[in-house]
Chain A
Amino acid sequence: MKRKDKHITPPRLAERFLLWFLKKDLAEEVLGDLDEKFYSQLKNKSPGKAKRNYWFQVFNYLRPFALRAFSTTNKNWSNFLTMLKHNLLISYRSFMRFKSTFFINLTGLASGLACTLLIYLWVMDEMKIDRFHEKGDRIYQVLQHNRWGSSVQTMTNTPRLLASSLKEEFPEVESSVSLNDDWADTPGVVSFGETKFKAKDNQIDPDFFKIFSFQLLQGNPNNPIPDTKSVLISDQLAARLFEEGADVVGQTIHWDQYDMSGNYLITGVFEAPPTHSSKQFELLFSEELLVERNSDYAGWESNNDRTFLLLKEGTDIAAFNSKIENYLKTKNDGEKNTLSVQNFGDRYLYGTFVNAQQAGGRIVYVRLFSLVALFILIIACINFMNLTTAKASNRMKEIGVKKAIGAGRKTLASQYLSESLLLSFTGLLVALVITNLFLAQFNEITGKQLVFTLDPTLVIGALVITIITGLLSGSYPALYLSGLHPIAMLKGKLKQTFGDTWLRKGLVIFQFAISAVLITAVMVVSQQIDYIQSKNLGYNKDNLLRFDYVTTEDPGFRAFIQELKAIPGIVNAAGAVDDATGEHGGTSNVSWSGKEAGSRTYFEILNVGYDFLETMNIEMAAGRSYETGRDIGGRSKIIFNEAAIKAMGLKDPIGKTVQIQGEQSEVIGVVKDFHFQSMYKNIAPLYIQLGKELEYTLIRLRPENISETMAAIEEVYDAHLDGVPFDFTFIDADYDNMYRQEQSISALARYFAGIAIVISCLGLLGLTAFTAEKRSKEVGIRKVLGSGSWRIVYLLSSDFTRMILVALMIGLPISYFVAKEWIQNFAYGIDLGISQFLFVAILTIGIAWLAVGLQTMKAANANPVDALRSE
């Protein structure tokens, strides 16, 4: 019978594999069945698919009934087992014989693998953030690029109206939602009967649950929050507020937060956002509530909302971006700010914009750490190879003897490979133990909740890395030494080849270059953080206590502040809405006499209470601060900072009036510039206004008797806010929190750099020991001829010193560029000078000398007779 696809046959290798394991008497029927299957597949599937299926079928015959007996009666098999046993024994003996090498190898490899595993877990976790939304590839966030002066600042704040009008005017937008994220920063107090909790809130539009994959457990999915009197709460909050099994929907809760306070009817329950969500909230109110309570929020001038769009399938993002770029101009004459969208899932890792262009973000750290992990792993592997190969030449006699008795090359190769594989797998085991031990600490540093689970990628990755390391390091002795002539080996007449030494030197240089880069990184990051923490901020952040006091009632709060001020340990106290360590609102709707037409300077806004400036120790440059009784809340009297005055070009501003969002405001004072945002930003134009309602209380304490003062404060607090837990923070801690990311990175970098240098030094130590041993006769002869100990030390370490100098010449320029790049992220960065790099160089050389020093001293001080007598 002729078939037209006769030339296509089942994969031969699969057939051979099948015949290898299959029972002989099954072969005919099984091969026949599989052939039939294969040709029936070919009729309607591609040859590739049919072949893959054939393999699949073959693997499915790996079942007990079909396997032929691989018993010990099988000669090859038993031989293999015996040899394996022998190899393991020899490996064990050689580990015991060269204990220090074994130990160095194991420590190096295990800590390298452990580092890599930890970083891998961290990276995987970072990649998961905000990626759980089902429609994630179509959810985009609108960004506003704000141009003041020469710089462009990208922010997420957009007008409230943007979401709905973009949906109306652009067919690409399937649905849109605006959120009010920044309120979520300051928690409010939710209460039901006597139960009170602090909770985070957010305000949403109806389509929220249709766009994001947050789950609405109860409630109307089309319009979960029907009016401004309704609220959704998370299942976790519901469990805390209500008894188990109680009907949550339909209950009324009370909410205290600034001007959002009131009673709300629960109309639904949602599942608390997963850990991998950058958005965390426990209560959801209607976005309309904000507009109702805060008329400013309605207009195109106000930028208080975050806008998210669900774009239709197949939307060309570049085209859409250029369509909406100047959209704001159609709503606001003279508007210079431009818009663009970015995928919401990308926001977390790619959140930084420079000149309205995407430029890095957390992804930089993700890449950096992946690179560090890779380097550490490479360093560890290099060590492993270097030491194994160096030691292998010590075992030439062993190989020679074996060859002389008749061991084949294959046997020798398999012995060395199994030995190095054994070592690398032991390393992996130790690494797993280390990873588990340090995971808790690692979580603390990184602020994550990583769990060590054996997901398939991790298992396969770790196995592949281990096997590759084992094979590579074992390959030199296995392939090279096993091929040498036995007699030459027995006589010990082999010289090290030129390429051989160069390879080893190159590897050491590479290791130390990487170590130098890591050391520099640690130094620069920690210096920058020190700089930020010690920089004069324009206010005094020490001994400043803050706690939330959510109030809408002025006289009560005034009494509260008066009682606080009466406590002897308190210097001053004030209420405020905004602070110097969080995000602020802002507006560009400010006009003044002499303002250029079309100029749209953006002003940050700080809402404060009386005595805020005094409590913070912010100095006035001109004019006066707010005074109780003389000034009332609102925008009628404002204070600018120097940067604002400069941006406006106002001369002699005190007593002048400016218009802010349509209201007349008198300038009563100018404060000296102070850092009210992170050091990544320049001090921006700012105006300060007296807040009508306050969110938190700020207290400056005397440094003495703080605990007594705290007790007194808590007494006053309980008298006024009974039932609300007294949670306070210190401003300097809040300030440090702003740089949490940098601090955790600095801490991580310190650990990893430490490990890298330790591993490198271990390698160097091993190599020195090896060289010293190799040259022990030379050293002996030199000593006999009258050479001094120091001369010998110099002889032995000059080689290594030269290698490290070369490593530094490679490593330092690289670290300079990397460090410079990083420092440029900060508006206020440290200067990089020669001295820092000199320090790194000296440190690296010093550490390396310490590592080799002990070995060389030992060799130099040894009795020459011992070295010369042997043989």
Chain B
Amino acid sequence: MKETRLGDFEEVILLLVGILDQEAYAFKIAEEFESQTQRSVSIGAVHSTLNRLGEKGFLTSEMGESTAERGGRRKRIYSITASGQRVLQESRDFKVSLWNQFPAFASGNLKIEWLNL
């Protein structure tokens, strides 16, 4: 059976694919990642993750149109599958449930403590 768990980086990439919609191809996703997280990433790393997500069944892809910046080459556009959406949902629900179990976070005291520091 294929591994179907979602890693941290994978989750971010998956979300970015959703955000970018029709513009979700490796270069754009890498750019978006850098601007959203302020961390640098190589296109190869993103591509490799996209590939893995595709193997897990969370993404599908098809070749899109070409532009002049790409020297007339086409791009591969990714989109989230139903199982991809489900796994994102599960991941969020799990974290929210964890947050709710943590009293300091739940009561909102922590923020004040931070300010006092």
Q: Give a binary string over A18-58; 1 marks a CB under 8 Å from any B CB, 0 the rest.
A: 00000000001111111111011000000000000000110
Which B residue's beta carbon lies closest to that of A27?
A: B73
With a CB–CB cut-off of 8 A, which chain B residues contact A28? 63, 73-74
**Within the assembled complex, what's the spacing in Å between the Cα atoms of A31 and B42?**
14
Interface status of B47 (Cβ within 8 A of chain A): yes
With a CB–CB cut-off of 8 A, which chain B residues contact A35? 69-71, 73
Interface status of A1 (Cβ within 8 A of chain B): yes
Set B31, B45, B67, B70: member contacting A60, Cβ < 8 A: B45
- Is chain A's binding surface mostly helix, strand, loop or mixed? helix
Mark the stretch among A61-69, A122-130, A623-631 that contacts chain B: A61-69
**Within the assembled complex, what's the spacing in Å between the Cα atoms of A56 and B43?**
10
- A60→B26 contact, CB < 8 A: no
**Within the assembled complex, what's the spacing in Å between the Cα atoms of A133 and B25?**
49
- B43→A1 contact, CB < 8 A: no
Shortest Cβ gap from A4 to chain B (Å): 14
**Within the assembled complex, what's the spacing in Å between the Cα atoms of A29 and B62?**
11
Could you tell me which residues of chain A, from 325 to 341, have a CB within 8 Å of some CB in chain B?
Answer: none
Could you tell me which residues of chain B, from 73 to 111, have a CB within 8 Å of some CB in chain A?
Answer: 73-76
Set B43, B45, B51, B66: member contacting A34, Cβ < 8 A: B43
Q: Give a binary string over A152-194; 1 marks a CB under 8 Å from any B CB, 0 the rest.
A: 0000000000000000000000000000000000000000000
Which A residue's beta carbon lies closest to that of B54?
A: A65
**Within the assembled complex, what's the spacing in Å between the Cα atoms of A34 and B74?**
12
Set B27, B42, B63, B76: member contacting A36, Cβ < 8 A: B27
- B66→A32 contact, CB < 8 A: yes
Given A29-B63, A36-B69, A63 contacting B25 (CB threshold 8 A): no
| Chain A CB within 10 A, most for which of B45, B68, B73, B75 | B73
**Within the assembled complex, what's the spacing in Å between the Cα atoms of A63 and B71?**
24
Given A1-B68, A29-B63, A33-B75, A66 contacting B47 (CB threshold 8 A): yes
Given A35-B69, A36-B70, A29 contacting B26 (CB threshold 8 A): yes
**Within the assembled complex, what's the spacing in Å between the Cα atoms of A57 and B34?**
14
Set B45, B52, B68, B73: member contacting A29, Cβ < 8 A: B73
**Within the assembled complex, what's the spacing in Å between the Cα atoms of A60 and B63?**
22
Which B residue's beta carbon lies closest to that of A2?
A: B68
- B25→A56 contact, CB < 8 A: no
**Within the assembled complex, what's the spacing in Å between the Cα atoms of A247 and B27?**
58
Interface status of B22 (Cβ within 8 A of chain A): no
Which B residue's beta carbon lies closest to that of A53?
A: B42
Given A33-B26, A33-B75, A66 contacting B48 (CB threshold 8 A): yes
Chain B residues touching A, range = 20 to 34
- A63→B48 contact, CB < 8 A: yes
- A32→B70 contact, CB < 8 A: yes
Which A residue's beta carbon lies closest to that of B77?
A: A29
| Chain A CB within 10 A, most for which of B67, B70, B74, B76 | B70
With a CB–CB cut-off of 8 A, which chain B residues contact A40? 31, 69
**Within the assembled complex, what's the spacing in Å between the Cα atoms of A35 and B69?**
7
Given A29-B26, A35-B69, A57 contacting B75 (CB threshold 8 A): no
Given A56-B42, A65-B51, A29 contacting B69 (CB threshold 8 A): no
Which B residue's beta carbon lies closest to that of A29?
A: B76
Given A1-B68, A63-B48, A66-B48, A37 contacting B43 (CB threshold 8 A): yes
With a CB–CB cut-off of 8 A, which chain A residues contact B66? 32
Which A residue's beta carbon lies closest to that of B50?
A: A65
Give the A-B contact count at a CB cut-off of 8 A. 72
With a CB–CB cut-off of 8 A, which chain A residues contact B70? 31-33, 35-36
Given A35-B69, A57-B42, A60-B43, A29 contacting B48 (CB threshold 8 A): no
With a CB–CB cut-off of 8 A, which chain A residues contact B52? 65
Shortest Cβ gap from A51 to chain B (Å): 15
Set A29, A60, A65: member contacting B42, Cβ < 8 A: A60
**Within the assembled complex, what's the spacing in Å between the Cα atoms of A364 and B115?**
57
Set A1, A30, A39: member contacting B47, Cβ < 8 A: A30
Q: Give a binary string over B30-43; 1 marks a CB under 8 Å from any A CB, 0 the rest.
A: 11000000000011
Given A37-B43, A57-B44, A60-B42, A32 contacting B73 (CB threshold 8 A): yes
With a CB–CB cut-off of 8 A, which chain A residues contact B74? 28-29, 32
- B43→A65 contact, CB < 8 A: no
- A61→B47 contact, CB < 8 A: yes
**Within the assembled complex, what's the spacing in Å between the Cα atoms of A56 and B45?**
11
With a CB–CB cut-off of 8 A, which chain B residues contact A34? 27, 43
With a CB–CB cut-off of 8 A, which chain B residues contact A62? 44
Shortest Cβ gap from A432 to chain B (Å): 34
**Within the assembled complex, what's the spacing in Å between the Cα atoms of A382 and B105?**
71
Given A37-B27, A65-B52, A31 contacting B43 (CB threshold 8 A): no
Could you tell me which residues of chain A, from 637 to 685, have a CB within 8 Å of some CB in chain B?
Answer: none
| Chain B CB within 10 A, most for which of A1, A28, A61 | A28
With a CB–CB cut-off of 8 A, which chain B residues contact A29? 25-26, 63, 73-76
With a CB–CB cut-off of 8 A, which chain A residues contact B43? 30, 33-34, 37, 57, 60-61
With a CB–CB cut-off of 8 A, which chain A residues contact B69? 35-36, 39-40
| Chain B CB within 10 A, most for which of A29, A62, A63, A65 | A29
Which B residue's beta carbon lies closest to that of A18?
A: B44
Shortest Cβ gap from B19 to chain A (Å): 18
With a CB–CB cut-off of 8 A, which chain A residues contact B45? 60, 63
**Within the assembled complex, what's the spacing in Å between the Cα atoms of A30 and B43?**
9
Which B residue's beta carbon lies closest to that of A64?
A: B48
| Chain A CB within 10 A, most for which of B45, B47, B52, B68 | B47
With a CB–CB cut-off of 8 A, which chain B residues contact A61? 43-44, 47
**Within the assembled complex, what's the spacing in Å between the Cα atoms of A60 and B45?**
7
- A32→B71 contact, CB < 8 A: yes
Shortest Cβ gap from A659 to chain B (Å): 65
With a CB–CB cut-off of 8 A, which chain A residues contact B71? 31-32, 35
**Within the assembled complex, what's the spacing in Å between the Cα atoms of A35 and B66?**
12
- A66→B44 contact, CB < 8 A: yes
Shortest Cβ gap from A56 to chain B (Å): 7
Q: Give a binary string over A457-487; 1 marks a CB under 8 Å from any B CB, 0 the rest.
A: 0000000000000000000000000000000
**Within the assembled complex, what's the spacing in Å between the Cα atoms of A39 and B63?**
21
Shortest Cβ gap from A817 to chain B (Å): 56
Could you tell me which residues of chain A, from 370 to 402, have a CB within 8 Å of some CB in chain B?
Answer: none
With a CB–CB cut-off of 8 A, which chain B residues contact A31? 70-71, 73
Shortest Cβ gap from B54 to chain A (Å): 10
Given A37-B27, A57-B43, A65 contacting B48 (CB threshold 8 A): yes
**Within the assembled complex, what's the spacing in Å between the Cα atoms of A29 and B28?**
12
With a CB–CB cut-off of 8 A, which chain B residues contact A63? 44-45, 47-48
Shortest Cβ gap from B43 to chain A (Å): 5
Which A residue's beta carbon lies closest to that of B52?
A: A65
- B47→A33 contact, CB < 8 A: yes
With a CB–CB cut-off of 8 A, which chain A residues contact B26? 29-30, 33
**Within the assembled complex, what's the spacing in Å between the Cα atoms of A59 and B74?**
22
Which A residue's beta carbon lies closest to that of B51?
A: A65
| Chain B CB within 10 A, most for which of A32, A37, A39, A65 | A32
**Within the assembled complex, what's the spacing in Å between the Cα atoms of A29 and B26?**
9
Shortest Cβ gap from A26 to chain B (Å): 8
**Within the assembled complex, what's the spacing in Å between the Cα atoms of A60 and B51?**
14
With a CB–CB cut-off of 8 A, which chain B residues contact A33? 25-27, 43, 47, 70, 75
Could you tell me which residues of chain A, from 61 to 90, have a CB within 8 Å of some CB in chain B?
Answer: 61-63, 65-66
With a CB–CB cut-off of 8 A, which chain A residues contact B48? 63, 65-66
Shortest Cβ gap from A61 to chain B (Å): 4
10 contacts between A and B (CB under 8 A): A28-B73, A29-B73, A29-B75, A30-B47, A31-B70, A32-B70, A32-B73, A35-B73, A59-B44, A66-B44
Interface residues of A (CB under 8 A from B): 1, 28-37, 39-40, 56-57, 59-63, 65-66
In the complex, the 7 A-B pairs of residues with the closest C-beta atoms, listed nearest first? A60-B44, A32-B73, A60-B42, A32-B70, A33-B27, A61-B44, A1-B68
**Knowing that A29-B73, A56-B42 are A-B contacts, what are 18 other residue pairs whose CB atoms are under 8 Å apart, sorted by A's residue number?**
A28-B74, A29-B26, A30-B43, A32-B27, A32-B70, A32-B71, A33-B25, A33-B27, A33-B47, A34-B27, A34-B43, A35-B71, A36-B69, A40-B69, A60-B44, A60-B45, A61-B43, A61-B47
